[in-house]
Amino acid sequence: MVSQRVVATFHLPREWLGALPDLADFVEWGSGEPAPRDWLLKEVGEADGLLCTVTDRVDEEILRAARRLRVISTYSVGYDHIDVGAARARGIRVGYTPDVLTDATADLAFALMLAVSRRVVEGDRLIRSGGWRIPWSATFMLGSEVHGRTIGIIGMGRIGRAIARRAAGFDMKILYNSRTPKPDVAAEYAPLDALLPRSDFVVLAVDLNPSTYHMVDYGFLRRMKRSAYLVNVSRGKVIVERDLIRALEEGIIAGAALDVFEDEPIGADHPLARMNNVVLTPHIGSATVETRRRMAEVAVENLLRGLR
């Protein structure tokens, strides 16, 4: 297999790659920044295998340049950044890493729920800025409870199910919405028009596809409780960000906690970054050592299977 060439658009620790560098002519983009498109267009020309991730747009142009490509392995659970139809038409296999990051992402969803409703980040920021003046007060930094409240999960795939299991541990009333009801899930299926006005927390755990793109707009947010929180651990483009900003400014919902954004990265000048009732994390849903290592193992194995 040494005669075969593999191009990786990002750097992984050597010990996570297993035997891959010894079994193929292995070329990787070594910077922490996303690989430039010009670099990818050049390097993919003689590649048999491509190891990519969500920041790489693998479209018709890339596939035309990839004269020898036989397999694309993406280091992600989503594959909306790959033109799968165009790859299939060329006989190129596509692999991804489902299920591996389920628990890590569900954990983060709950961390975000707790952080935004109990004002954890706001309290931390208050102390670090020297603004904590009163040792204790009956009405100081009041937040909202999570235990016993109603959660509305939109998307009942692997991650949605894992979030529901955690919600059960908090004695929450669990509502969910998905393309089809899931009889095996211990939760109540509800249309969006019923789920949104009943939920104290609305958690997005959907794939990005034509039906979910910008599904969370101003009308969606107006159907939520004014005391409710929106949590997104799916894809940034599920939300119309300008509508979310407007809803937060107008008090249409109580707050939001987001791990993903329409355009990434965002900076300190972003309107969401200036709001106290918003918790932001930099797309770290799967960012645990254990999960990222396992994702690498699956992505490498997908690549090697495709080459074989």
**Which amino acid type is present at position 62?**
I
- Residue 31's pLDDT is 87
Structural contact between residues 280 and 258, judged by C-beta atoms closer than 8 angstroms: yes
Note whether 153 and 160 are within 8 A (CB).
yes
The pTM of the full predicted model, rounded to 2 decimals, is 0.93
Question: Helix (H, G, I), strand (E, B), or coil: what is residue 198?
Answer: helix
Question: Which residue is listed with tokens 């959660």?
Answer: 151
Between CA 71 and CA 74, with CA 72 as vertex, the angle to 5 degrees is 150
* Known catalytic residue at 283: yes
**Strand partners of residue 72:** 50, 94
Question: Which pairing describes strands 188-189 and 255-258: parallel, antiparallel, or unpaired?
Answer: unpaired
Quick check: 29 and 39 in contact, CB under 8 A?
yes
- What does the pLDDT look like over 25-44, one tens digit per residue? 999 998 889 999 999 999 99
Choice among 283, 293, 297, 301 that is catalytic:
283
What distance in Å separates the CA atoms of residue 189 and residue 210, rounded to the nearest whole number? 22
Q: Are 233 and 105 in contact (CB under 8 A)?
A: yes
pLDDT at 69: 98
Task: Pick the catalytic residue from 88, 264, 274, 305.
Answer: 264
Which amino acid would we find at residue 87? Answer: A
Neighbour tally for 85: CB within 10 Å: 8
Contacting residues for 9 by C-beta, under 8 A, at least 6 apart: 28, 29, 34, 35, 40, 50, 51, 52, 53, 55, 56
Provide the pLDDT for residue 32.
Answer: 85
In the predicted model, residues of the chain with pLDDT beneath 70 are 1-2
Q: How many residues does the chain have?
A: 308
Q: Would you state the pLDDT for residue 2?
A: 58
The conformation of residue 216, written as its DSSP 8-state character, comes to B
The CA distance from 138 to 119, in Å, is: 15
> Which tokens go with 138?
């009956």
Backbone angles phi, psi at 129, to 5 degrees: -90, 0
DSSP state of 261: -
pLDDT at 150: 98
CA distance 281 to 39: 29
From 149, 235, 241, 294, the catalytic residue = 235
**Cα-based angle 225, 227, 228 (whole degrees, multiple of 5):** 65
Distances (CA, A) of 242 to 204, 239, 270, 287: 17, 9, 11, 27
* Residue 210: Cβ-neighbour burial (10 angstroms; 0-12, 13-18, 19+): exposed
- For CA atoms 164, 174, 233, 213, the dihedral sign is positive
How many helical (H) and strand (E) elements, i.e. helices and strands, does the chain have? 11, 12
CA 76 – CA 298 distance, rounded (Å): 10
